[in-house]
Amino acid sequence: MSNEPSQRDIDTQIAEQAGRTGLDHPSRDYPAYRSSLLRYPTQALTVIRDPEAVELTGPVFGVTDVTELDHDLTQGGFAEPGGQRITVTGVVKDRQSKPVRGQLVEIWQANAAGRYAHQRDQHPAPLDPNFTGFGRCLTDDEGRYEFTTIRPGAYPWRNHRNAWRPAHIHFSLFGTAFAQRMVTQMYFPGDPLFPYDPILQSVTDPAARERLVATYEHDLSVPEWSLGYRWDIVLDGPAATLFEEDGR
């Protein structure tokens, strides 16, 4: 008999988590997300007393490190990558709804077939030699960011039987220091896999969960080129975008 949880087990765990009202952030040992049992900290977090010392062990980014082509994930190959070209744009705001200028925004994602350009991804879907799935940009004076990319495909992730992740793009924001880095995910509207995804469903507040879903805006679509999606990011306050860590 397999020890792998059934879909009924997953549905039960999701329902139980949904009953914990008032929790934007799921518990770190959320049972329906199996790998969280191996990832979450079991000891008290260490207080960082010298953030500059932490940054010495990590990358250091500057304005000159980001080039004009870094925001366009469809460029840089020998040919056009496969899939539907999209534009993703939005504004990064603080808790007073003021724009956050000069913010480093990074994204990474699967290709149109639902496969990452990473050696650990052995999903039997085709790799795209013209798509790395990684991009970055700096927000402008009005806090705006913009990426041109390919709409990612869904992919299996072996969390439970017949488990598939909805199409999504990972976002990383670095704040004003490397130790402030925050990571989240953007989803696409109307995805039929939403009810079956323990990661998304672990966000128990429906309003917070909705803030992780981009909006299709036809005026952002470029004629004969790309479909347009808007996804604003709020770093703090009651309308904050959900991040993977409690600190924002």
From the candidates 116, 145, 187, 196, give the one annotated as an active-site residue. 116
CA atoms within 13 A on the CB side of 224: 0
30 is catalytic: no
From the candidates 170, 187, 196, 211, give the one annotated as an active-site residue. 170
199 and 242 Cβ atoms separated by less than 8 Å = no
User: Token match 């992780």: residue?
Assistant: 212
DSSP 33: S
Secondary structure of residue 231 in the 3-state scheme: coil
97 and 241 Cβ atoms separated by less than 8 Å = no
From the candidates 30, 155, 187, 196, give the one annotated as an active-site residue. 155
Query: Shortest CA distance to 177 belongs to which of 56, 17, 20?
Result: 56
116 is catalytic: yes
Query: With left for phi above 0 and alpha for psi between -120 and 50, is residue 54 left, alpha or beta?
Result: alpha
Q: How far from chain centre, in Å, is Cα 65?
A: 22
Q: In the numeric block, which tokens belong to residue 107?
A: 């994204």
104 and 61 Cβ atoms separated by less than 8 Å = yes
Q: CB within 8 A of 190, min separation 6: which ones?
A: none
Q: In the numeric block, which tokens belong to residue 86?
A: 């999209």
From the candidates 71, 85, 168, 211, give the one annotated as an active-site residue. 168
155 is catalytic: yes
From the candidates 85, 115, 136, 165, give the one annotated as an active-site residue. 165
Point out the residues that are catalytic. 116, 155, 165, 168, 170
